[in-house]
Structures are given as C-alpha cells and as structure tokens.
Structure 1
Amino acid sequence: MTPQIPPHWLLPGTVAQARAAQAEMAARVVARDDLPARPRIGAADVSNTRFDPRRRVHAAVVTIDAAGGLMATASESRAADFPYVPGYLGFREVPALVAAWARLDPKPGLLLVDGQGLAHPRGLGLATHLGVVLDVPTIGVAKSRLVGEGEPGPNAGDAAPLLWKGERIGTALRIRRGARPIYVSIGHRVSLETAEALVRAACDGRRLPGPIRAAHAAANAARRAAEAYLTSGQPPSASGR
C-alpha cells in the first residue's frame, strides 16, 4: 500500500519550494540496509525528450523473477506538470513513476533506478526522491556522473569511490573492460556496500543491470505507444501486467 504522499513532494509550486521539498525529503533518506533478506528485484526508468512541446513523460516500472525474467510491468505516459530545471528532474518524473507503481503487481522489494541517488547536489536524485516518496528500498544506477570525482581502473570489476566535498557519495564501477563506468549510489533504505554488491550481481557481465534494461525497454514502448496515438488517434492503454 502506497503511503500518504505530501503533495509538495510531487508538485511544488516554484523552484524555491522544490528546493525546500528536496531538503525535507533528503533528511528522511535511510542510508543503511532496511530491506528483505532476499528481495524481489525491480527497476524504474523514464523516457522523455527535453524539448518535447507537450512535456510528456513516459515512465515504467518492472518486477523481475528469481530467474531474471520479466514478471510484471506497468507504465504511465503523461504531461509533466513541473518545468525542466536541471537538478529538479524528479519533480517531472516521479509523479508518473508513482502512478505506474500503483498498478504494478506483484511489486518488488527493491528498485534499481536509472538515475542518481545521493550522488546529487542536494542528495536527492531520482532514486532517492522515488524511494522516499514510496518508502521503498532503492538504488541509483546512473550512466553519467552528475557531481563528484572518481575513476575506476580499466578492468572489469574495477571500482573507485565517488567523492564530493570530502564525502563519499557513491561508487564509480566499471563492469566490462573498455566500457564507460556506471555510478552507483544509495537511493533509500540500502547501504552503499549492499547497493554495489546487488548492482554487480544484476549486471551479469553487461554494462547495465538486467532489470534496468527491462525498465528501459518498457519506458521506450510506452513512448512509442503514446507517439502512435498522436498519429493514429487510437488511445494507448496504461499498461500493467
């Protein structure tokens, strides 16, 4: 059951109010393990275009079974109510993810999120924002670095602390030799040590974890369905299976 969500955590009226909401949510992040011993893994991703005049957001969440197969998926396409402001993208994307989460059945016990967690200027990237809003364990898995310094060695499995302002905010991790690093950070209710171990296991030799690849495919499918509707007039149905 989704907890009662303060409205300003989803849609603040101004950027100043968004900054205050981020500070409020960041203070609630749990940076230690508070999750099931063997959680069912899921993932969340969003597909959008920054300059889309309709400001549409196509969000997807998935649940993965013990064998690594897709167990359930749900998506939501809608216009974003909050404008594009760097550092505040959660306010554009989290409402759609929350709507998709409400329809996902069964739900996972842990979400890998395609985006930053604590590795954010105010400690509230998409993974932390979504984790606190839903009160669900989350891990940030980002394809690029937003803040901080840290470069892993060239070999598969090499890792380096991601440091910013004298503090460790995540781990830069190279899954495959020659591949660009990914950046793992705490989302909510997961320690960094556990987050790194779970991400390594979920990657299975690929640059990105399998659950995130599945969520990415689902978000892109939602975007294509919405675009087809604009062409054909046939309304896409919100998915959930």
Structure 2
Amino acid sequence: MRVRALHDWPRSPAEAEAIQDRLRAAVRVTGELSGVRAVAGLDVAYANDGSDDLVAAVVVLDADTLEMVDSAVVAGTSTFPYVPGLFAFRELPALVDALERLTTTPDLLVVDGQGVAHPRRFGLASHLGVLTEVPSIGVAKTPLGRYEPPGPRRGDWTPLLDGAEVVGRALRTQDGVRPVFVSVGHLVDLDTATDQVLRLAPRYRLPETTRQADHLGRAALVR
C-alpha cells in the first residue's frame, strides 16, 4: 500500500516535535466509515535482551470473518531515543516499511497505541493515519489521561480526559475485564471508533487486529 513521505526521519527530539506540530493540523476527528471490508492491525514487539531490536507486524483481516487476508513483518533496530511523547518515532520506520509491503490496502488501521490521546494530540495512530490517508484508531492498553472506571458490562465506557479535554474513552470490551483506551487517529469520529473496536473484539479484551499482529510479531522475534 502507499505511504506518503511527508517528512524525513528526525535525528533529534526537537526535529520530531516539529514534525508532530506541523502534521497534527492535518488530523480530522470526523468520519462515520462505510463499506469497511479490510481492517489492518499494527503492533511492534521488542527483544527481551535490552537491545533496541524490534519486529513490526501488520495484519489485514476480513472485517466480517476476522480471518487474515494479508500480512507483513519487518525486523529492525530502533535508532530514535525513548522520549515521552515521541515514542512513535521509535516504531514508525519499521511500521511504514511493513505497510508498504502489503498487497492489500485496508479500509481502516487499528494501532496498538494512542491517537489524539497524546500531549501534542498526534500519537502513533494519528501519525500513521495522516501518512497513509486511511482512517485510523488508537487502542492502547494503558491510559494517557484520567478516567473514571466504566461500568462492568461490554460496551460500557467513560471519557478519557487530559485536563478538561476529552481525548478518548475507557472502553470495556468484555464483561468484567480491564478497559482498553480508545482514541481517534484520523478520519473517524469517537463514536465510530468505539463501535469498530467492539466489533473487532468479539471474545477477548483486545481487538483481533491487535491480537493477531502481536502473535505474528512475537513469533518472528524468536526465530
């Protein structure tokens, strides 16, 4: 699939912040989606030896059956330092490489990470959405912001807040399990993002997009 080259890879935190500040103006937090047939899940697995080695995995699932129809795996080494708010730049080069190897162009990206729930409102899901011009959603395992626990049933949610601003939702995807944290990436509204995550998580806490990308990446990492 096509990924736009909107910037060079930054060499410093200041360059990375400038890229986020420039591109976040392109983010659109509206869009209800229709005709979603193929959904991509993106995840990065890291080596357990303390190195910066990683594997980026992208799976494309049939939106109705949740069966895999395409995938790509890229091994690499992160060259960008760990800096709060700039974590996306550790993963973006390998994820972009993996996306470009797909033979299927997905209708939606579901990213293991944040969208606009980010200090500069431009997390990994937003960044990838802008680069690909494909609607994107961030589904994180941990929150960026504060929230009240949602009700105990599948589909219950509460706002995820950064100060007074709603940046996402704490969403219960299964009865009695810990919530996931959903935020808009690009070209989709929060109600639609919530509905899509529930659709993609019929049995487990995490959506199948994330689960299958995680399994694929970890399997490649131990080879």
TM over 0.5: yes
Deviates more, 1:78-87 or 1:182-191: 78-87
Counterpart contact for 1:98–1:134, Cα < 8 Å:
no
Residue type of the alignment partner of 1:147: G
Question: What is residue 102 of structure 1 aligned with on the other side?
Answer: 100
Consecutive unaligned residues of structure 2, counting only runs of 5 or more, are: none
Question: What is residue 231 of structure 1 aligned with on the other side?
Answer: none
Q: CA deviation at 1:35?
A: 4.7
Question: What is residue 64 of structure 1 aligned with on the other side?
Answer: 61
Q: CA deviation at 1:84?
A: 1.6
Q: How does 1:118-197 map to 2 (within 5 A)?
A: 118-197=116-195
Residue type of the alignment partner of 2:66: G
Structure with max Cα Rg = 1
Distance of aligned partners of 1:131 and 1:84 in 2 relative to their CA distance in 1, 3 Å threshold: same
- CA distance in 1 between counterparts of 2:133 and 2:220 reads 25
Deviates more, 1:195-204 or 1:157-166: 157-166
- CA distance in 2 between counterparts of 1:88 and 1:49 reads 20
Q: CA deviation at 1:222?
A: 2.2
Q: What is the CA deviation profile of residues 165-204 of structure 1, one whole-angstrom value per residue up to 9, with x for unaligned ones? A: 2111111111223311100110111111110001111100
| TM-score of the aligned structures, taking structure 2 as reference length | 0.93
Counterpart contact for 1:36–1:109, Cα < 8 Å:
no
- CA distance in 2 between counterparts of 1:175 and 1:4 reads 33
CA RMSD of aligned residues (A): 1.8
- CA distance in 2 between counterparts of 1:83 and 1:38 reads 36
Q: What is the CA deviation profile of residues 182-234 of structure 1, one whole-angstrom value per residue up to 9, with x for unaligned ones? A: 00110111111110001111100311111111111111122123xxxxxxxxx
Question: What is residue 4 of structure 1 aligned with on the other side?
Answer: 4
Q: CA deviation at 1:120?
A: 1.1
Q: CA deviation at 1:7?
A: 3.0
Consecutive unaligned residues of structure 1, counting only runs of 5 or more, are: 226-241
- CA distance in 1 between counterparts of 2:59 and 2:197 reads 16
Deviates more, 1:43-52 or 1:84-93: 43-52
Question: What is residue 78 of structure 2 aligned with on the other side?
Answer: 80
Q: CA deviation at 1:34?
A: 7.0
Distance of aligned partners of 1:3 and 1:76 in 2 relative to their CA distance in 1, 3 Å threshold: closer
Question: Could you say what secondary structure the match of 1:7 adopts?
Answer: coil
Report the identity percentage: 41
Counterpart contact for 1:119–1:169, Cα < 8 Å:
yes
- CA distance in 2 between counterparts of 1:86 and 1:186 reads 20
Q: CA deviation at 1:90?
A: 0.8
Question: What is residue 216 of structure 1 aligned with on the other side?
Answer: 214
State the number of aligned residues: 222
Match of 1:19 among 17, 20, 31: 17
Counterpart contact for 1:43–1:113, Cα < 8 Å:
yes
Deviates more, 1:147-156 or 1:107-116: 147-156
Counterpart contact for 2:144–2:162, Cα < 8 Å:
no
| TM-score of the aligned structures, taking structure 1 as reference length | 0.86
- CA distance in 2 between counterparts of 1:39 and 1:214 reads 17
